[in-house]
């Protein structure tokens, strides 16, 4: 099966940053090819992505070649939805740079940090794992969840791939004890208890929160075991379409105090302090404040601080001409995103 592609500048999406900045924990970058690989809900296949200066290339690996070809018909739609391609990120960067000098300085070297639109169930359990944790360990825990309780898909390039487990499987007896033995610690209890709550809810309850106002959705999430304000905001921002949700942890608290001179008298991140920081960034950056927050959060990572980006000169190991799909074929096959909000500007 050939690589397919769609036009996309790195200033609209930079895969290497977006897929490794702590939004999603299932993507792995192959050291040899540089391509990114993962599984997405709704398809029993492995997604392979790589990027050029002005395009994203993708390929599907599935148990049968015939199924891969059939999946191609809906693959673009899936990627458009997953990467929120109905949002013009370049325009947002311009707005934020005009509104805030610090953002202008930080974003100058870190273009293309785009928010993902992930599956709410996967996002919920992934961020329960994030409590007092780092990206590497969270990724390891999420992988263990999939290997232990997910459905086997296939083996590709020496690695086995699984679906993310469904709540009723995680709600079964013995799950908590098993997860503790696997190194989840106290998070095992929260995963098991939350799974039982979800299993008792009407089908689609979590997904329906996409339609609820931000404050309502946030409050509903706080009723789940192991979900505090920050985790609830991560779920809201990264899977429930709440673009102004601001996840605040001690790292973001430090950024607020250091770069924005927010005078916080409390010595701990209380509810009052949490809301003050979120409200400050919402007032500063507007409707997509959560996206701007993610850029600032990522820019403060040590692994990204040495990155220097020039708009039209970004090194790449892959070239568009290497793809068997010609540009006119790509344009002819682009699928209009039915889920796009009418008020947002399409960028692809």
Q: State whether 182 and 192 are in the same domain.
A: yes
Shared-domain flag, residues 128 and 236:
yes
Same-domain pairing of 174 and 286: no
211 and 271 in a single domain? The answer is no
Report the number of distinct structural domains present in the chain. Answer: 3
Q: Tens digits of per-residue pLDDT, 45-76?
A: 999 999 999 999 999 998 876 556 656 668 88
Final residue of a structural domain among 219, 242, 265: 242
For position 308, what pLDDT does the model report?
52
User: Which of 26-35, 200-209, 338-347 is predicted least confidently?
Assistant: 338-347
Q: What is the pTM of this model?
A: 0.86
Query: Do 193 and 285 sit in the same domain of this protein?
Result: no
pLDDT digits (tens, 9 = 90+) for 245-280: 999 998 899 899 999 988 766 677 888 889 999 999
CATH number at residue 139: 1.10.340.30
Q: Is 96 contained in some domain?
A: no
230 is catalytic: yes
| Same domain (yes/no): 133, 144 | yes
Kindly indicate the confidence band of residue 132, based on its pLDDT and cuts at 50, 70 and 90: confident
Question: Do 229 and 334 belong together in one domain?
Answer: no
Same domain, 127 and 215: yes
Residues 159 and 225 in one domain: yes
Calculate the average pLDDT of the chain: 86
Indicate the pLDDT class of residue 35, thresholds 50, 70 and 90. very high
| pLDDT cut 70: percent of the chain above it | 84
Asked if residue 133 is part of any domain, the answer here is: yes
3-state helix/strand/coil string of the chain? CCCEEEECCCCCCCHHHHCCCCCCCCCEECCCCCCEEECCCCCCCEEEEEECCCEEEEEEECCCHHHHHHHHHHHHHHHHHHCCCCCCHHHHHHHHHHHCHHHHHHHCCCCCCCCCCCCHHHHHHHHHCCCCCCHHHHHHHHHHHHHHHCCEEEEECCEEEECCCCHHHHCCCCHHHHHHHCCCCCHHHHHHHHHHHHHHCCCCHHHHHHHCCHHHHHHHHCCCCCCCHHHHHHHHHHHCCCCCCCCCCHHHHHHHHHHHCCCCCCCCCCHHHHHHHHHHHHHHHHHHHHHHHHHHHHHCCHHHCCCCCCCCCCCCCCCHHHCCCCHHHHHHHCCCCCCCCCCCCCCC
**The one catalytic residue among 211, 230, 261, 272:** 230
Residue 339 pLDDT more than 50? Answer: no
In this predicted structure, what is the pLDDT of residue 29?
A: 96
Asked whether residue 235 falls in the same domain as residue 130, the answer is yes
| 208 shares its domain with 155 | yes
Kindly state whether residue 290 falls inside one of the protein's structural domains.
yes
- Domain check: are 15 and 46 in the same one? yes
Q: What is the mean pLDDT of residues 149-154?
A: 96
Higher pLDDT among residues 145 and 305, named by residue: 145
Domain that holds residue 203: 118-242
| 131, part of any domain | yes
Q: Is the pLDDT of residue 322 over 70?
A: no
């Amino acid at each position: 099966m050939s690589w397919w592609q769609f036009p996309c500048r790195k200033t609209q999406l930079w895969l290497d940053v977006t897929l490794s900045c702590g939004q999603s924990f299932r993507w792995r970058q192959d050291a040899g090819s540089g391509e990114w690989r993962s599984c997405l809900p709704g398809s029993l296949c492995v997604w392979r992505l790589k990027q050029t200066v002005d395009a994203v290339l993708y390929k599907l690996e599935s148990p049968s070649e015939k199924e891969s070809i059939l999946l191609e018909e809906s693959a673009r739609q899936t990627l458009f939805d997953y990467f929120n391609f109905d949002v013009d990120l370049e325009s947002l960067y311009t707005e934020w740079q005009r509104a805030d000098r610090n953002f202008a300085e930080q974003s100058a070297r870190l273009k293309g940090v785009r928010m993902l639109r992930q599956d709410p169930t996967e996002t919920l359990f992934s961020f329960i794992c994030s409590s007092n944790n780092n990206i590497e360990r969270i990724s390891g825990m999420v992988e263990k969840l999939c290997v232990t309780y997910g459905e086997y898909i296939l083996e590709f390039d020496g690695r086995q791939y699984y679906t993310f487990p469904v709540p009723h499987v995680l709600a079964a007896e013995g799950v908590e004890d098993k997860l503790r033995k696997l190194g989840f610690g106290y998070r095992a209890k929260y995963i098991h208890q939350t799974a039982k709550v979800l299993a008792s809810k009407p089908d689609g309850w979590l997904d329906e929160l996409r339609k609820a106002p931000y404050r309502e959705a946030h409050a509903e999430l706080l009723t789940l075991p192991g979900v505090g304000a920050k985790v609830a905001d991560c779920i809201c921002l990264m899977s429930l379409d709440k673009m102004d949700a601001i996840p605040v942890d001690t790292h973001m608290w430090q950024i607020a105090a250091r770069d924005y001179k927010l005078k916080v008298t409390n010595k701990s991140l209380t509810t009052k302090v949490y809301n003050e920081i979120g409200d400050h960034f919402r007032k500063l950056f507007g409707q997509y404040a959560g996206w701007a927050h993610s850029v600032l959060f990522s820019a403060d990572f040590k692994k990204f601080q040495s990155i220097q980006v020039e708009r039209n000169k970004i090194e790449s190991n892959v070239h568009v001409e290497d793809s068997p799909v010609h540009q006119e074929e790509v344009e002819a096959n682009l699928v209009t995103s039915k889920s796009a909000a009418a008020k947002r500007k399409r960028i692809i």
